[in-house]
Chains A and B, each alone.
Chain A
């Protein structure tokens, strides 16, 4: 029996570094785009993975490691909020609204896909 703190922490350390790496990569590819594709990508992909392990009925330890730890840390609400506020205050209000909606719609799509995959 491993303490939840180590499972969550180990998953989170990996998730946080993967988020940083994803952001570096995506922001490099989508440079000069106003839409924050990096944070959008981690939020959609992380929601898909969290939903998948949940729907597949993973045990407590796996949920701590992959769910609370890795996916919880891979995705981020704070960066998403700051991104949205920044778009809004720089005058891109339509894009800010679309970004806020797109994150949720993307996450919903990821969760729906995970549900479909889990029933295969």
Chain B
């Protein structure tokens, strides 16, 4: 009985952490879309988010300084909400063909590269830790 109660509270805690991170992440993306209007804002959010998530995921594996709860707030909540696939895809569809091809290609290439840069940062941390 106490165990199920503890499990429920634990689930509730995760839900709150993800929700709070999501609240902040989407607003940050919105602020960025005002500062950098058009495709550039979504592009910047997606690439920056990939850099940070790449770092967090590999940090958790290689170094492990950050707590699991930090992962729920920062990765599952904040960064996954800061970045977006739906807006990216809809913007591509609504752009002229040539712009769309460039936009999709640039976001994919820079996003994957940003993950690798994040991984490198985590690895350098592992060396110094």
Contacts and interface: CB of A to CB of B under 8 A. Distances in A.
B35 to A, nearest CB: 15
Interface of A: 4-5, 8-17, 19-20, 42-43, 46-47, 49-51, 54, 64, 67-69, 71-82, 84-85, 100, 103-104, 107-108, 110-111
Given A15-B81, A20-B76, A82-B115, A73 B89 contact: no
Interface of B: 14-15, 18-27, 29-30, 33, 46, 49-50, 52-54, 57, 76-77, 79-90, 93, 104, 107-108, 111-112, 114-116, 119
Given A20-B18, A71-B87, 5 more contacts: A17-B15, A47-B85, A50-B90, A72-B84, A82-B115
Contacts of B18: 16-17, 20
A82 B58 CA distance: 10
Contacts, number: 154
A106 B30 CA distance: 25
A81 B54 contact: yes
A69 B108 contact: no
